[in-house]
A and B are shown apart, each in its own frame.
Chain A
Amino acid sequence: MEKVHQKEAFGLAAKDNSGVLSPFRFTRRETGEKDVRFKVLFCGICHSDLHMVKNEWGMSTYPLVPGHEIVGVVTEVGAKVTKFKTGEKVGVGCLVSSCGSCDSCTEGMENYCPKSIQTYGFKYYDDTITYGGYSDHMVCDEGFIIRIPDNLPLDAAAPLLCAGITVYSPMKYHGLDKPGMHIGVVGLGGLGHVGVKFAKAMGTKVTVISTSERKRDEAINRLGADAFLVSRDPKQIKDAMGTMDGIIDTVSATHSLLLLLGLLKHKGKLVMVGAPEKPLELPVMPLIFERKMVMGSMIGGIKETQEMIDMAGKHNITADIELISADYVNTAMERLEKADVRYRFVIDVANTLKPNPNL
């Protein structure tokens, strides 16, 4: 067991780029004066976790304890903590720290701080690597803790801490949250299904854009989308050309931007939140002749994340989840790779993650 800090912890870690997760004992720091310590109840499995355990982005260091959709109950707070107390339901998303002084930080956009530290796989100030939420407890600076509204079920709220803020932030920033607007959501997975729910709660008309008919019924009848468009059907595409104010594109596979740009009205905005590894082909004519834009976005700032989850509380927005036990996690990762989940796996950490007595 790696013994750097004082408090023992246990979780699931990937040991190499096979990505297979197995029990792992490690340590976390003592509760510092500005820290909040909480027992992890649930942790969502984000597609980024899959990319990271397999080192698909080339930045993983092992052992890697993933998980950045973490919710739990506060067990201890540091002497200078003012915003939280023991017993409260809290969460941590993708960030645990930032520099606090750059332009991004002062504007509440810690996610764009060049020195931001992510919840797992990043070097912390004490030179240790951060470990994420596939673990029994977390300790985190008060400034990066999110309060979970009382009325939200914790397991289904967990994915909002990454998926939720990832779709919420650009909708607000790019003004795609006005009632009556027509928003397209490309891809109906972890991000996409939450995107539909938030867009509907904002009062917009929502069309889901997908490569197959398969998910039409649930997009419309269960998630509340107004329309469903199969991108491989030329007639459906033609009828929808020039009808959307904005499109939230959650797809990380390589795909055609030309088709999506065609669906936008003049001045329409195509927001990319899935991050394809390879560059995409950018047709410049629609940008120039119809003043359309392509923009990117990545999670959101802390204040904005709190705002997002408060809105979720008000509108009863949660993710559609499949609750799994800790020993199912590798199978879940395999199914996630095939997009075989409606729509987020969430690990029942408190009830199923046990320390391995043999380690």
Chain B
Amino acid sequence: MVDRSNAFGWAANDESGVLSPFHFSRRENGENDVTVKILFCGVCHSDLHTIKNHWGISRYPIVPGHEIVGIATKVGKNVTKIKEGDRVGVGVIIGSCESCESCNQDLENYCPEVVFTYNSRSSDGTRNQGGYSDVIVVDHRFVLSIPDGLPSDAGAPLLCAGITVYSPMKYYGMTEESGKHLGVNGLGGLGHIAVKIGKAFGLRVTVISRSSEKEREAIDRLGADSFLVTTDSQKMKDATGTMDFIIDTVSAEHALLPLFGLLKVSGKLVALGLPEKSLELPMFPLVLGRKMVGGSQIGGMKETQEMLEFCAKHNIVADIELIKMSDINSAMDRLAKSDVRYRFVIDVANSLVTDSSAENLKEHVDHGVSITSRF
């Protein structure tokens, strides 16, 4: 089959992680597909890890991006819940087996054959590329509807960061009783959304951080109830055994022992950050206090849609810095230093331009493909 769709984005070609313009192909819109003209794409820390091959699984060239919001421009004949012109989102996954226990429980994210939006291969052999690009074609099962109340730009990061914190809050029982105390370790892309969603669930929220730099805005702007600096030994001592749960968003290597100390008996630590190496797990606090460490990654499609509706209802969006596609490399440098409040979002539709776009159009016309089929 000749692949007649063309696409354009920015890709990393090696472990330097430097992104540059890249032409590639998307499949044609099939009967189950939704073709999405991309408006915005969030810059997730996982994008940075992947383009620099921190996890050792990167296959270049890679067009990252899995916090995608756009407009459906074409839908296949089997697609019923989305129509042309709808505002839609694509998150971290674009395929699963549809028959395993996880898929049958709407937990496509835990399917052993899950297909990630980028740096992955579909069963037909295509290498998948992500949302730092102009268009994407996705099976309708993995396309979300963006609720009316959510803005496209500040809503985009919810597609990864939002579901990544929402899912474990439900799964680990943080939302069952009101008034429980949640600690959020790390105030970045994941952390700031965890504060907002946690508050919306009626939890008391303490931000845990290495420095007091973000204290004022954690409390005044994000709505956290308190702020704990881990280097303040007196405050850490006073906070011993006060938290029912901790969501740990930090992916850099860090000590778990002080976090376990903050948990009450039977407290739960949920690890969401993906460190490069193993962490050290001190056993005594676990055993002596019946404490637990678990993990979670994103969420299933049904839950992701539920999360979007929840955020729309509670006016929860990410705090973003909108950037042009051409600024992506300096944004990545800043992200590596956590210098962003709190998510970069690429204004794809308005800033992704190609010098050779005129040539591309000519190519399409020469092959008898109309201009609109690009979208």
- Is B274 at the interface (CB under 8 A from chain A)? yes
Among the listed stretches A12-20, A67-75, A182-190, A270-278, which one makes contact with chain B, having 4 or more residues with CB under 8 Å of it? A270-278
Enumerate chain B residues within 8 angstroms of A287, measured Cβ to Cβ: 271, 293-295
Enumerate chain B residues within 8 angstroms of A275, measured Cβ to Cβ: 283-284, 287-288
| Most chain B CB within a 10 A radius of its CB, from A173, A279, A298 | A279
Quick one: which of A87-124 are within 8 Å of B by CB?
A: 103-104, 109, 112, 114
Quick one: which of A236-284 are within 8 Å of B by CB?
A: 257-258, 266, 272-273, 275-276, 279-284
Q: How far is the CB of A334 from chain B (nearest CB, A)?
A: 26
> How many angstroms between the C-alpha atoms of A160 and B290 in the bound complex?
20
Contact present for A295 and B289 (CB under 8 Å)? no
Q: Among the listed A103, A114, A289, A291, which residue makes an inter-chain contact with B294, where contact means beta carbons less than 8 Å apart? A: A291
Q: How far is the CB of B101 from chain A (nearest CB, A)?
A: 8
Q: A279-B281, A281-B280, A282-B280 are in contact. Are A288 and B295 (CB under 8 A)?
A: yes
Enumerate chain A residues within 8 angstroms of B287, measured Cβ to Cβ: 272-273, 275, 296-298
| Most chain B CB within a 10 A radius of its CB, from A257, A290, A295 | A295
Quick one: which of B59-92 are within 8 Å of A by CB?
A: none
> How many angstroms between the C-alpha atoms of A122 and B302 in the bound complex?
53
> How many angstroms between the C-alpha atoms of A280 and B293 in the bound complex?
13
- Is A294 at the interface (CB under 8 A from chain B)? yes
How large, as a class, is the contact surface on chain A? 20 to 34
Quick one: which of A121-159 are within 8 Å of B by CB?
A: none
- Is B93 at the interface (CB under 8 A from chain A)? no
> How many angstroms between the C-alpha atoms of A76 and B285 in the bound complex?
39
Q: 1/0 per residue B196-212: CB within 8 Å of A?
A: 00000000000000000
Enumerate chain B residues within 8 angstroms of A289, measured Cβ to Cβ: 110, 295, 297
Q: 1/0 per residue A337-350: CB within 8 Å of B?
A: 00000000000000
> How many angstroms between the C-alpha atoms of A281 and B253 in the bound complex?
12
- Is B275 at the interface (CB under 8 A from chain A)? yes
Q: A109-B265, A273-B287 are in contact. Are A282 and B295 (CB under 8 A)?
A: no
Enumerate chain A residues within 8 angstroms of B281, measured Cβ to Cβ: 257, 279-282, 294
Contact present for B288 and A266 (CB under 8 Å)? no
Q: A104-B265, A291-B294, A292-B295 are in contact. Are A284 and B279 (CB under 8 A)?
A: yes
Q: How far is the CB of A102 from chain B (nearest CB, A)?
A: 9
- Is B282 at the interface (CB under 8 A from chain A)? yes
Closest-by-CB residue of A relative to B279 is A282
- Is B357 at the interface (CB under 8 A from chain A)? no
Q: 1/0 per residue B335-365: CB within 8 Å of A?
A: 0000000000000000000000000000000
Contact present for A288 and B297 (CB under 8 Å)? yes
Contact present for B271 and A279 (CB under 8 Å)? no
- Is A285 at the interface (CB under 8 A from chain B)? yes
Contact present for A291 and B295 (CB under 8 Å)? yes
Q: 1/0 per residue A319-333: CB within 8 Å of B?
A: 000000000000000
Task: List chain B positions with a Cβ less than 8 A from chain A.
Answer: 101-102, 110, 171, 241, 256-257, 264-266, 271-275, 278-297
* Extra pairs beyond A272-B286, A287-B295 (14, CB < 8 Å): A112-B265, A173-B290, A275-B284, A281-B280, A284-B274, A288-B295, A288-B296, A288-B297, A291-B110, A291-B297, A294-B292, A295-B286, A296-B285, A296-B290
12 A-B pairs within 8 Å (CB atoms) are namely A266-B102, A272-B283, A279-B257, A279-B282, A280-B281, A282-B279, A288-B272, A288-B274, A291-B295, A293-B295, A296-B286, A296-B289
